[in-house]
Amino acid sequence: MDLHSITASTARSLLLSRELSPVELLDAVVSRTAQVEPKINALTEQMLDEAYAAARESEARFAGDQANLRPLEGIPLLLKEEQPIAGRLSEEGSLTEKGNIADVTHPIVDRIFAAGAVVHGRTTTPEFCCAPYTHSKLWGVTRNPWNTELTPGGSSGGSGAALAAGETILATGSDIGGSIRIPASFNGLVGFKPPFGRVPGMAPFNSDTYCADGPMGRSVADVALLQNVIAGPHWGDQASLRPAYVLPTPKAAAAIGMRVALCVNLGNFAVDPVVEANTRAAADALRSMGVTVDEVTLPWKTEELTEIAWAHFGAIMGPFIEEIAGTHQDLLMPYTLDFAKKAAAAGSYPEGLAAETAMYEPLGRLFESYDALLCPTVAVQGMAADFDSTTSSVMIGDKTVGWIESAMTIPFNIIGRVPVLSVPSGIAPNGVPTGVQIVGRTYDDATVFTLGAALEEALQLWTSASWWPTV
């Protein structure tokens, strides 16, 4: 058994039985990091002194009264760099922020430390988290461990690559347009975009209905474990929901009798044939678990979705980037400048809000009859590790589209109160995994985890030790 690729749930069992110590588990992921990091480039920094101190503390707790163990006791975890830690670098992947030191700590980071996790490093992002791939002038190119010529996705690409490569056991991400789910899909992982307000955030994005911090891991149970640690109201975030919502342990058998709507193209997305085939295989897997799956249509159009999203980004994220960048635009990545330019040229925010409501209506009607929606996570098999969205497009069959038209995640940021779990659906010919999204009714988190557990049991893909890349 390769300790660096076990699930958090397995690690917990081994730690409880004292067949494994937190120090030994940390040794395993640190050793693996030394082996693969030169090829993957997923970390901005390691925090080994603090991590080994935390691992030794957890070791003493496991040796003592186990009634006092914390939820993440002794589990190695990496944090997305975007989530600041007071007194440590907070650079957002940008030369304009090089050397900046955070003076506050993100609420979920405080919760993760308090839960006993062994935080041993932080992970790369694209500049200001504004791309679905992960490379920057500051940190270089992060690569997919399944195929190092391709991207691990973004913006939580470092977290995704590190998890898949065995550099940690759990990781955090954030998602404003697919930034958890895209890396989950491209790296063969499970990732959860919580509904708006479920997890506390920081200004200004805690008030942005598109945005959510969330968990990434190697199993549905792992992601539920971390989600329960980070969720719940926080004194610093008026948008955070109370009371705290605690996910029950996901059980595949609870999916029997559920009804799922399958929509492969979400209206008119062009979808790679391999992605479609793997999505249909996932639907069949759910049927084998006693779930009714019916194919449905939605009236959405990619051009309309793009207009709605850019109107929103133009009101919030675009001005945020412009304000930070100031007069130093020569230091920015081309994709950052392109993002800000498109955001500035977007339509009106009020019209966008009205369009968001209109867009939700057909899905809301579907949810009167179905418990969840199943669809692909990303329409393409992958993109180059150094993909440049300002000069390159992606090919799907004989159709050329921009990256935003391949991100089938964005509709569910536009209607941000729906929970979405991304799980693997198979592997493409290029060696990179594909994924599906399980989209739930507003704030019905438990159902997407139940269906995720059913898919996990039926497909038997990422539960196998042989699933993970050898790099």
- Residues taking part in catalysis: 80, 155, 179
Q: Are 159 and 135 in contact (CB under 8 A)?
A: no
How many C-beta neighbours within 10 Å does residue 64 have? 10
Q: Are 83 and 108 in contact (CB under 8 A)?
A: yes
- Two tokens at 368? 């009167």
- Two tokens at 158? 């470092």
Strands 420-427 and 433-440: antiparallel
- Two tokens at 431? 């060696």
Give, for 100, the enclosing helix (H) or strand (E).
none
Q: Are 200 and 240 in contact (CB under 8 A)?
A: yes
DSSP code of residue 470:
-
- Two tokens at 312? 């929103």
Q: Looking at the DSSP assignment, which residues form a beta bridge with residue 377?
A: none
- The span from the CA of 132 to the CA of 389, in Å, is 9
| b/e code 112-130 from CB counts within 10 Å (16+ = b) | bbebbbbbbbbbbbbbbbb
**Residue where the block lists tokens 């989209």:** 439
Q: Are 216 and 170 in contact (CB under 8 A)?
A: yes
List, in order, residues 6 or more apart from 219 with CB less than 8 Å away.
7, 8, 9, 190, 456, 462, 463
